[in-house]
Amino acid sequence: MDVYTTSFTYPRRSRHSHSSAIDFNSASTNDAYNVSHSDATASQDTEAIQKLAMMAMSLHGCHVSYFLADHGRGWNFHITGAYQQVMVTRGMILKECPIQHRAAIKVTRSEILDSPSSKPALKLEVRRRLDEIASQTLAHIAVVNSPLSLSNRTPPDGISSSAGWSGLETERVCELVVTGHEDSVELARVRLLVMLDELSGLHAELCEIDHKLHAIIAGRKRSVLQSIQEETATNIYLPSPLQGLMGPELGSSVGNFRNSNVIWITGEFFGVQRARDMLYQVSVNKSKSVISRDTAILPRKLDWMVTDRAEDLRSIMSDNATFIHFPPLGSSTSLITVYGDHRVNIQRTIRSIMQLACQYYVGSFWLLPMQFNALLPPATLNASAVTTLLKQISMTTGAEVVFKSMCFEVHGLEHEVRSAVNMIIELDIIKAFHHEIRFQIELSNDHREFISGKKNGKINKIMQTTNVKIKFETFNDYNFLIDIAGPDNSVLQGLSLLQEELPAEISFHVPEAYHKRIIGVGGRSIQRIMKKFGVYVKFSNAEEFAALGGYNDNDDNVVARTPAKNAINLDNLKQSVMELVNPKDKDYVNETVSIPRRYHRTLLGEKSIFIHDIETKTNSRVHFPDKETASDVVTIFGPESQVQIAAAMLLDHVPFEADMAVPPSADLPRILGTPEFSNLVERVKRELQVSIVPNLKTQGPVNGNSENEAPTELSFKFRCQRSNSDFLITAREMLEQFLLNHNIHVYPSPTAHIHKRGDSFADSFPHFDSKVLSTAKTRGHESVDMGRPDVGDRDRRLRMANSSPDVKALFNAPSYIYNLEEHDDVESTYMPPPGPGVEYWTPLQPIGSGIPHRTRHSEDAIKRGSDSLLEAKLKDQISKQPRSLQNRAQSLDLTFSLSRITESGSRLPPESPTTSTGDTGGNSSPTSATAPSFPSVYASPISGRPAPVGTAPQAQAQRSERVLDEEAIDEVSRVISNLGL
């Protein structure tokens, strides 16, 4: 009898759900309810594994050994015996191995815990229900303090998520953590969600429908189920489609609770009845049109999918409205059955499953004798040595390693199989044998021509280069097998070259209206793009798309394919194609928004009309998570330019809640019943759109002792829309004032010392703080270009006219214009020396004087409207400038100005003006008090008036040159001072 030996690690290292050990001691220091889960758990698991191994050995006559692997996160099993017995034992271990799965449900503490001022403890009713669910589902349930808040959005100022029960705080959150076998966790999670709905006052009912029909009833991407929930304002919880595949077999006592046909519905009583009737009606209709199809997959690949890719399988079934029936885990059966109501959906499901199977590789390492001699027995390996080797290779690489008939077999993902074969090659005992290595790769039939190339050119080239044999074998209607075999390391090189030729693909959605435009006349446009990037592109029209059902995603109607070595060009090609599509129709992406789970039913029900309006306006779709996942994440699918807008519009319909606790008081119930309190609540609701609801709680006797009566607890719940959350603090202040006026004490607010009532107009523009609007808190450190209003009108300095020529430039201006720090040197640059004749600007030169004007003065002239002819000329001059110059807030090109300063470097700097000798006299007032320009420190009196009659030509020329130099110096000093250098 041939001995068959296998060694594998379970759970596999690639599993994400078990990537870290769960330490409940650290996570639940303040647990209100927790079945002990500490170091004893490890010993319990060890006992359970030992019991399982003993049972398997006694039932199936194999030898089973086990030990901890992967730093205590998994177990390595080693099974030896006859092939059939080993496979049955392996299946039993995979199914019943006590691997802890984990699920967490975030829940508001007030829903399940007693009053928070005392040490929190579970409500008696909640504790009873939790015990009941734990016993029925055989799962372990713990209540754990959670550092996470319900939403990832930051609460407004003055509202804290840990305010110590003073002031306003968002609701505290704890987690219901469920651990156990996968089936137990899935069942317990649904039952807990139903329990939470019932605690919040909803009615719950169950209905039984054949589990094969669940996904078919729900529709593609659960669209039908979402519409039923929307119409009836209910929550519908479906059981896991993989239920019964994992976990031990249970007795009849709890069998009823593990019924995979049960669907739970919660909501208002009449809504639940309607939803149940609608589900039954859809199931009757669909059951008449259900069709099925069988297909074959290698048994080990099926086991890997169920244990390692369960989430992928669920999403495939949900996306395509189909049900996949898998054989029992670990059995040698290779047949799966796919049920659906439409041929396209079934075909697409099988294609997705086959695509998943292609990730799993098989490697064989055959040991051949050095020379064949019929008289001598063949050389064999020592059994104990093989056992040690298999354990070592399996633990190091994560692959399943089998030894049978002088052949090592390796099963796993590509990198695991490659690593394991490399380790086997390097073993010393292998060197006494010839060997042949073989890899088996599975690939879709659609790619057969793609990988072989024209006249098998690609395959022939690899075989000639690496001296390996490559053979194609038909496997089933969807996939074929590629066998690559060789004597030594060259087979690894051949595998690498073959992998470079394997197809990498990307699929996306382009509206069909654009297809002809992108393809071009005779396909010229798309041929040019394909040639540029070396990528093959296929556009599906409506008929092909309907027959195909989409590529990777349901909506994808364009697929691009290229060899893996050229995969980097796939994104480049997608961008080139998308450049020809309007922004509102392209780059469809998924945007996620975190909305507390308890609002989903209301949003889908009462608010559905608003959601449809958002979808219409933004050309997007809002998809709520599956109810049984207990997720807060809502997905918005739409064009990249619109999904952010849709998310903001959706959040406007999500209420924001905060609590304010009040110390116990005997007068509180009486005051809450007065008309004054009702008037206050109405006034706050009318003026601030914030509702205030008192929440009165009275505890009974503590620990059964009637003397220890717990005091009355009171908190006020504030609720408003997120867009209106700024008014919460004002509402809290009004309530506090009302309570204080009636001699009711309140907790001191953490923000009482720092909060001041701000300017309502300025507060409406928080993003423009200290830049556009001046507020009280920024008055002491405003930006330079806004000046200080409290210094007086004489010191008020406004932004230069040409620093914001249009609104676009104002919002796109560089940050240095608005965020300058005020230093003494900056102030001295802008503050003119005191004196009776100080001017705040350089007066305009007379027309025809030949002295050039500055741009900023010309714009000031336009503002003043001093001369219509001049104004027309200057407008014409400005309009001739390129738009890029008009939009520039500051010019930093000082080359010309600095060069002129350098040329006249030997001259002394010009003197500052002390008197004004303009036409208006020595003590002239500014021509315009509305838009003064910045003072020119180096402006000469000469620049402000024409030269006196009788001046020598040389002196006149010198003065003109000096004016130009002064102008250059002024320009440089102005920009440098503006930069704060």
The residue among 535, 554, 581 that closes a domain is 581
More confident residue, 661 or 732: 732
To 5 degrees, how large is the angle CA 705–CA 710–CA 714? 160
Q: Tell me how crowded residue 458 is: count the other CB atoms within 10 A of its CB.
A: 19
- Edge-to-edge, what's the strand order for the sheet holding 323-325? 291-296, 335-340, 323-325
Question: Is the pLDDT score of 515 beyond 70?
Answer: yes
Per DSSP, 507 falls in state E
Per DSSP, 890 falls in state -
Specify burial of residue 747 (Cβ count, 10 A radius: 0-12, 13-18, 19+). middle
**Token duo for residue 748:** 């001191």
Question: Is the pLDDT score of 757 beyond 60?
Answer: no
Contact 317, 83 (CB under 8 A): no
Tell me how many domains the chain contains.
4
601, part of any domain: yes
Per-residue confidence (pLDDT) for residue 861, from 0 to 100? 41
- Torsion, Cα of 921, 927, 933, 935 (10° steps): 10
Q: Are residues 318 and 378 in the same domain?
A: no
Per-residue confidence (pLDDT) for residue 804, from 0 to 100? 39
Question: Is the pLDDT score of 89 beyond 50?
Answer: yes
pLDDT in tens, 419-474: 999 999 998 888 888 889 999 999 999 899 889 888 888 899 999 999 999 999 99
More confident residue, 880 or 604: 604
Contact 393, 423 (CB under 8 A): yes
Q: Are residues 513 and 625 in the same domain?
A: no
Question: Is the pLDDT score of 88 beyond 80?
Answer: yes
Average pLDDT, the chain: 76
Per-residue confidence (pLDDT) for residue 753, from 0 to 100? 44
678, part of any domain: no
Per-residue confidence (pLDDT) for residue 727, from 0 to 100? 86
Percent of the chain with pLDDT over 70: 66
The distance from CA 842 to its chain's CA centroid, rounded to whole angstroms, is 57
Q: Are residues 364 and 478 in the same domain?
A: yes
Contacts of the segment 270-275: beta carbons below 8 A, 24+ positions apart = 271/232, 271/233, 271/234, 271/605, 272/203, 272/204, 272/205, 272/232, 272/234, 273/205, 274/231, 274/232, 275/228, 275/229, 275/232, 275/234, 275/236
Q: Are strands 291-296 and 360-368 parallel, antiparallel or unpaired?
A: unpaired
Q: Are residues 414 and 509 in the same domain?
A: no
Report how far apart, in Å, the C-alpha atoms of 869 and of each of 415, 630, 847, 876 are.
80, 73, 10, 11
Contact 920, 928 (CB under 8 A): no
Q: Are strands 400-404 and 469-474 parallel, antiparallel or unpaired?
A: unpaired
Q: Are residues 510 and 619 in the same domain?
A: no
CB neighbours of 735 closer than 8 A, spacing ≥ 6?
660, 680, 684, 692, 716
List the single range of 513-517, 689-693, 713-717, 733-737 with lowest mean pLDDT. 713-717
Helix (H) or strand (E) holding 26: helix 24-27
Domain boundaries, position 320:
292-357
Helix, strand, coil percent values for the chain (each to nearest 5) = 45, 20, 35
Per-residue confidence (pLDDT) for residue 70, from 0 to 100? 81
Q: Tell me how crowded residue 654 is: count the other CB atoms within 10 A of its CB.
A: 22
| Tally of helices (H runs) and strands (E runs) in the chain | 36, 32
The residue among 476, 501, 526 that closes a domain is 501
Question: Is the pLDDT score of 937 beyond 70?
Answer: no
3 state DSSP class of 198: helix
Question: Is the pLDDT score of 830 beyond 70?
Answer: no
More confident residue, 553 or 261: 261
**Token duo for residue 514:** 């654009």
- In angstroms, rounded to a whole number, what is the distance separating the alpha carbons of residues 511 and 584? 11
Q: Are residues 432 and 352 in the same domain?
A: no
Specify burial of residue 467 (Cβ count, 10 A radius: 0-12, 13-18, 19+). middle
Q: In 783-805, which positions are buried (b, 16+ CB within 10 angstroms) versus exposed (e)?
A: bbbbbeeeeeeeeebebbbbbbb
Half-sphere exposure of 958 (CA within 13 A, CB side): 7
pLDDT in tens, 776-825: 443 334 333 333 444 444 443 444 444 434 444 444 444 333 333 334 44
Question: Is the pLDDT score of 163 beyond 60?
Answer: no
89, part of any domain: no
Per-residue confidence (pLDDT) for residue 271, from 0 to 100? 96
- In angstroms, rounded to a whole number, what is the distance separating the alpha carbons of residues 118 and 51? 45
Per-residue pLDDT band at 957 (split at 50, 70, 90): low
Q: Are residues 597 and 538 in the same domain?
A: no
Contact 541, 515 (CB under 8 A): yes
Q: Are residues 437 and 489 in the same domain?
A: yes
Q: Are strands 655-662 and 701-702 parallel, antiparallel or unpaired?
A: unpaired
pLDDT in tens, 565-594: 999 999 999 999 989 888 877 778 889 998
- In angstroms, rounded to a whole number, what is the distance separating the alpha carbons of residues 249 and 96? 8
Specify burial of residue 129 (Cβ count, 10 A radius: 0-12, 13-18, 19+). buried
CB neighbours of 259 closer than 8 A, spacing ≥ 6?
208
More confident residue, 206 or 854: 206
Q: Are residues 383 and 487 in the same domain?
A: yes
- In angstroms, rounded to a whole number, what is the distance separating the alpha carbons of residues 625 and 594? 11
Q: Are residues 384 and 421 in the same domain?
A: yes
- In angstroms, rounded to a whole number, what is the distance separating the alpha carbons of residues 303 and 326? 9
Per-residue confidence (pLDDT) for residue 147, from 0 to 100? 56
The mean per-residue pLDDT over the stretch 274-301 comes to 95
- Edge-to-edge, what's the strand order for the sheet holding 691-698? 159-160, 168-169, 655-662, 712-721, 691-698
470, part of any domain: yes
Q: What is the DSSP string of 223-256?
A: HHHHHHHHHHTEEEEPPPTTTTSSS----TTTGG
To 5 degrees, how large is the angle CA 867–CA 871–CA 872? 125
73, part of any domain: no
More confident residue, 346 or 640: 346
Per-residue confidence (pLDDT) for residue 584, from 0 to 100? 78
The residue among 596, 617, 651 that closes a domain is 651
626, part of any domain: yes
The mean per-residue pLDDT over the stretch 297-318 comes to 93
Q: Tell me how crowded residue 310 is: count the other CB atoms within 10 A of its CB.
A: 20
**Token duo for residue 445:** 């039939």
Instruction: Identify whether 11 is preceded by a cis peptide bond (ω within 30 of 0).
Output: yes
Q: Are residues 470 and 365 in the same domain?
A: yes
The distance from CA 705 to its chain's CA centroid, rounded to whole angstroms, is 51
What's the per-residue H, E or C state across 31-49? CCEECCCCHHHHHHHHHHH
Contact 843, 924 (CB under 8 A): no
Q: Are residues 372 and 474 in the same domain?
A: yes
- In angstroms, rounded to a whole number, what is the distance separating the alpha carbons of residues 20 and 13? 10
Percent of the chain with pLDDT over 90: 41
- In angstroms, rounded to a whole number, what is the distance separating the alpha carbons of residues 313 and 333? 18
Closest CA to 189 of 628, 631, 633: 628
More confident residue, 374 or 640: 640
929, part of any domain: no
Per-residue confidence (pLDDT) for residue 429, from 0 to 100? 84
**Token duo for residue 707:** 């003397």
Q: Are strands 633-639 and 621-623 parallel, antiparallel or unpaired?
A: antiparallel
603, part of any domain: yes
Pick the most confident of 14-23, 71-80, 227-236, 382-391. 227-236
Contact 414, 453 (CB under 8 A): no
3 state DSSP class of 362: strand
- In angstroms, rounded to a whole number, what is the distance separating the alpha carbons of residues 773 and 762? 6
Per-residue confidence (pLDDT) for residue 454, from 0 to 100? 83
Closest CA to 6 of 99, 131, 90: 90
Closest CA to 492 of 431, 396, 417, 408: 417
CATH number at residue 397: 3.30.310.210
CATH number at residue 631: 3.30.1370.10
Q: Tell me how crowded residue 572 is: count the other CB atoms within 10 A of its CB.
A: 13
